[in-house]
A and B are shown apart, each in its own frame.
Chain A
Amino acid sequence: MPAASPQHFLDQKGWQPFPFQEETWNAYLAGKSGLLHAPTGLGKTLAVYLGPLAETTGSHCQILWLTPLRALAADTLRALREPLVVLAPGCEAEARTGDTPAALRARLRKKLPHTLVTTPESLSLMLTHADFSDKLTGLRCVIVDEWHELLGTKRGVQTELCLARLRAWFPNLRIWGLSATLGNLTEARHALLGNAFAGSVEVTADMKKPIIIETLIPREIDRFPWSGHIGTKLASQVVWEIDKANVTLLFTNTRSQTEIWFQELSALRPDWKDKLAVHHGSLERAERDFAENGLRDGSLKCVVATSSLDLGVDFAPVDQVIQVGSPKGIARLLQRAGRSGHQPGSVSRIICVPTNALELVEFAAARDAALARHVESRKPLRQPLDLLVQHLVTCAIGSPFLPDEMRREIQSTHAFEFLTDAEWQWALGFISDGGRALAAYPRYQKARLIDGRYGVDDKRLITQHRLSIGTISSDPAVSIKLASGRVLGTVEESFISRIKPGGALVFAGRKLRLVRFHQRTATVKVVAKSDKGQIAIWGGAKMPLSSELSHAVARRLKGIGPPSPEMEAVAPILAIQKKWSRLPDDNSLLIEYARSKAEEHLFLFPFAGRIVHEGLAALLAFRISRKTGEAIITTQNDYGFSLSAKRGLVLDEELLRCNLSSENLLNDLIACMNTAELARRQFREIARISGLILQMPPGQKDRSQRELQSSASLLYEVLHRYDSENLLLLQSEREIMERQLELTRLTTVIHRLESAPMYLIETENLTPMAFPLWADRLNATLSPGDAATRLESMLIALNQAAG
Chain B
Amino acid sequence: MIPFPYLKLLPEGAVFLTDSATLIVADVHLGKSAAFRARGLPVPEGDTARDLGRLLDLAKQNEASHLVIAGDLFHAPSGITPELEAALHRFLQQIEIPVTLVLGNHDLKLHKIIAELNPVPHLDLGEKFRVIHDPAGASGKRLHLSGHLHPVVKIPDGKRTSLRLRCFLFRNQTLILPAFGSFTGGAILSHFPDDRVFVSLRDQVVELPLELISLRKCH
Contact = CB atoms under 8 A, between A and B. Distances in A.
A798 B81 contact: no
B45 A442 contact: yes
B106 to A, nearest CB: 8
Given A718-B47, A791-B165, A795-B212, A708 B201 contact: no
Contact of A787 (B76, B165, B183): B165
A445 B45 CA distance: 14
Interface string B179-219: 00011110000000000000101100010010110001100
A443 B211 contact: no
B43 interface: yes
Contact of B40 (A442, A458, A498): A458
Contact of B159 (A714, A717, A779): A779
A502 to B, nearest CB: 13
Contacts, number: 109
A714 B183 contact: yes
A218 to B, nearest CB: 30
Contacts of B75: 707
Give the size range of B's interface with the partner.
Answer: 35 or more
Nearest to B158: A794
A798 B44 contact: no
Contact of B44 (A707, A709, A722): A722
A341 to B, nearest CB: 41
Give the residue among B36, B163, B182 with the most A Cβ atoms within 10 A.
Answer: B36
A718 B33 contact: yes
B124 interface: no
A401 B181 CA distance: 39
Contacts of B106: 707
Given A442-B34, A782-B159, A795-B212, A430 B199 contact: no
A444 B37 contact: yes
Interface string A412-441: 000000000000000000100010010111
A791 B201 contact: yes
A604 B101 CA distance: 62
A721 B46 contact: yes
Interface in B45-64: 45-47, 50
A798 B209 contact: yes
A722 B45 contact: yes
A784 B160 CA distance: 11
B41 A708 contact: yes
A437 B43 CA distance: 11
Contacts of A782: 159
B120 interface: no
Contact of B199 (A443, A498, A711, A791): A791
A464 interface: yes
Contacts of A710: 36, 43, 183, 185
Give the size range of A's interface with the partner.
Answer: 35 or more
Contacts of A794: 155, 157, 212
B155 A791 contact: yes
B160 A781 contact: yes
A706 to B, nearest CB: 10
A583 B44 CA distance: 56
B46 A441 contact: no
A794 B39 CA distance: 42
Interface string A60-101: 000000000000000000000000000000000000000000
Given A434-B42, A692-B43, A714-B185, A708 B36 contact: yes
A50 to B, nearest CB: 46
A655 interface: no
A719 interface: yes
B37 A442 contact: yes
B216 A498 contact: yes
B42 A694 contact: no
A160 to B, nearest CB: 24
A460 B39 contact: yes
Interface in A80-138: none
Given A722-B46, A790-B163, 4 more contacts: A440-B46, A446-B42, A460-B39, A710-B185
15 contacts: A442-B45, A460-B39, A460-B40, A498-B216, A500-B217, A707-B75, A710-B183, A719-B44, A723-B44, A787-B165, A790-B157, A791-B155, A791-B165, A794-B157, A798-B211
Interface of A: 430, 434, 437, 439-446, 458, 460-461, 464, 498, 500, 677, 691-692, 694, 704, 707-711, 714-715, 717-719, 721-723, 726, 779-782, 784, 787-788, 790-792, 794-795, 798
Q: What 6 pairs across the A-B complex have the smallest Cβ distances?
A: A722-B46, A444-B37, A440-B44, A722-B44, A723-B44, A461-B40
